[in-house]
Amino acid sequence: MRSRRHTAIAVTALLGLFATTACGAGSADGGGATGGGEIAVAGQFPTESIDPNGALAIDGGTRVASLQLYSPLLETVGPGEFDGKAAESWEINDTATEFTFTLRDGITFSDGSPITGQDVAASFERTVAADSPFSANFVDVGVQATDDTVTFTPAAPDPALLAKLTGVMITPAEATEDSYLDKPVTSGPFTVESFTPGGDLVMVPNDRYWGEKPTLDRVTIRSIPEVAARVTALETGELDIIWGISDDQVTQLNGNTEVQVVSATGSAVTTMWMNASTPALAKAEVRRALWQAVDFDKKIKALYPESGEPADSVIAPTVFGYAPQEPVTYDPDAAKQALVDAGFDFDTTLRFHFSQAQFRQWVKSVVSDLAAIGVKAEALEKEQAVYTEDLLSLNWDINIQQVGTLGLDASYNLGRLYTCAAERTGYCNPELDRMLKLAGTAVDPAERQAAYADATELIWNEAVGMYPMFVKNLFATRASVSGFEPDVEGLPRFDTVSVDE
């Protein structure tokens, strides 16, 4: 009898634990339910650093945080079009070797100290000195500053420098790595209330921001890397905005009237390079035939109905240098005949390497289409670090990745990845090098655009890779959220967001 009573007590205690915690669940932190204009948001990458010009500057979590916390000199608003942010105006000399920016009058950091040209120059020098992917953008670029101006002097003409500078965020000249561990001084619409690296970043409006103040009282960027957990948290109201969601989750969310899905065209293109340094893929006719053998339209409709649209160029329409091409039409019979005509060795097995689970079905489907015309391909899924190492050492025959264009200028994509010296695609063509050099140095935008169009046509016709899909970034918000507009690169920003209480 007593043992039954003990059991009952234990069960009651457990139920009590549930009940106690359940009572508090309705007031979970974040969420529109807390009122007062507070939101909680989460993407696929945790925020491990809020140093905008440090080693993780290009990391997904850091980029989203930087966009809210810091101001660049200028921002891209369209292909080859820029608006001033901290810079009121700028002048470029005739040879694109001197770029002088004049700062807005009276702008300050979040601690009230003035933002000066010296701060901009120091931020730039940190980017160049840091072991950051951005540093490769600024080889041999000098910088001089006064209190209200800053001048950049590339050693060679660099008309794309404006686009490249959109990634340099302004921080105080005296900032060091340690400044970003807790509550850094910021220059953007928000400032930091609290930050746990890899955990929550809580931001409040920067009262001294020079631009329009955010309407929200508080934004919490949470770390929820699992996409299913993010989607659930949005549906339960624990989160107000999420990103890094896939097409199948959109189907689930579309059935919920309390949420809405927002898509934004960024700069990413699904890119499948074919390694021209592999003997089997050395001929352009072979690479074109393989492209023709895959029914990409069908795959996009089946796998990426929300986030994909058939591509007609190597770079996205949002990028300066975009030039549309004649789509490659699916025709397996013609593809097989072209392979036979080109003397393709059907006994060769092509190594198709990829790293992200989101590509798994796509890759298998491509392998299946290739098998239908007798081409053997092996899908090799690799862990990210292994994939990257093999990618750089050209240890693959076909690969797949989403290639974006930072700053929305083709110099970052075509100019960096497709030259012989880059050794990134296995393809080397001095004629392409010449076109890209002209595109990268011509001062006249029309001349640059024409050169990139020529380069794109060559890359497309030579089938350096297959370019099947432009990628849209998907976001989902609670219905109570309004004013949410991702930036032109498809990243979320919260300074324009408001929320119903």
Partner 1 sequence: MLPQLVRRLGLMLFTVWGAVSLTFVILRLAPGDQATVQLGPEATAADVAALRTELGLDRPMFTQYLDYLGGAMTGDFGESYRFRDSAMTIILDRFPATVVLALTATALALTVGLILGILAGRSPGRLADRVISGITLVMQAIPPFWSGIMLILLMALTLRLLPSAGSGDLEHLVLPAVTLAIPFAALIARITRSSVAEVTAEPYIQTARSKGLSERAVLSRHAIRNSVIPVVTMVSLHIGTLMGGAVIVEQVFAWEGVGSLLVSAVGNRDYAIVQGATVLFAIVVVTMNLLADVLNARLDPRIRAGVTS
Q: Give the residues lining the site for partner 1 (CB under 8 A).
A: 1-3, 6-7, 10, 13-14, 17-18, 20-22, 24-26, 28-29, 46, 48-49, 51, 54-56, 58, 131, 133, 136, 177-178, 180-181, 196-199, 222-226, 228-230, 232-233, 235-236, 238, 383-393, 401, 416, 422-424
CA dihedral 322, 323, 325, 327 (to 10 degrees): 30
**Which residues, 6+ apart, have CB-to-CB distance to 103 below 8 Å?**
86, 87, 88, 115, 116, 117, 120, 148, 149, 150
DSSP state of 495: T
Q: Which is nearer to partner 1, 76 or 116 (CB)?
A: 76
**SS3 label, residue 47:** coil
Q: Which is nearer to partner 1, 54 or 426 (CB)?
A: 54
- 10 Å Cβ neighbour count for 477? 25
Distance CA 1, CA 433 (A): 88
Q: Which is nearer to partner 1, 18 or 430 (CB)?
A: 18
CB of 222 to partner 1, least distance (A): 7
CB of 184 to partner 1, least distance (A): 12
CB of 134 to partner 1, least distance (A): 9
Asked if 319 and 413 touch (Cβ cutoff 8 Å), the reply is: yes
Asked if 134 and 127 touch (Cβ cutoff 8 Å), the reply is: yes
Asked if 169 and 184 touch (Cβ cutoff 8 Å), the reply is: no
**SS3 label, residue 123:** helix
CB of 20 to partner 1, least distance (A): 7
**SS3 label, residue 36:** coil
Alpha carbon separation from 105 to 88, 114, 117, 211, 315 (Å, rounded): 8, 9, 11, 12, 37
DSSP state of 277: T
**Which residues, 6+ apart, have CB-to-CB distance to 251 below 8 Å?**
none
Q: Which is nearer to partner 1, 85 or 222 (CB)?
A: 222
CB of 474 to partner 1, least distance (A): 19
Quote the tokens at residue 426.
């296995």
Distance CA 426, CA 278 (A): 8
CB of 476 to partner 1, least distance (A): 15
Q: Which is nearer to partner 1, 225 or 327 (CB)?
A: 225
CB of 256 to partner 1, least distance (A): 10
Q: E strand or H helix at 470, and its extent?
A: strand 465-478
- 10 Å Cβ neighbour count for 279? 10
Q: Which is nearer to partner 1, 261 or 284 (CB)?
A: 261
Q: Which is nearer to partner 1, 57 or 67 (CB)?
A: 57
CB of 259 to partner 1, least distance (A): 12
Distance CA 180, CA 195 (A): 9
CB of 278 to partner 1, least distance (A): 18
CB of 196 to partner 1, least distance (A): 7
- Longest alpha-carbon distance in the chain: 96
Q: Which is nearer to partner 1, 239 or 276 (CB)?
A: 239
Tell the residue number behind the tokens 């953008």, with chain if given: 137
Distance CA 319, CA 154 (A): 22
Q: Which is nearer to partner 1, 386 or 443 (CB)?
A: 386
Q: Which is nearer to partner 1, 58 or 302 (CB)?
A: 58
CB of 497 to partner 1, least distance (A): 21
Q: Which is nearer to partner 1, 97 or 137 (CB)?
A: 137
**SS3 label, residue 111:** coil
Asked if 77 and 83 touch (Cβ cutoff 8 Å), the reply is: yes
Asked if 369 and 295 touch (Cβ cutoff 8 Å), the reply is: yes
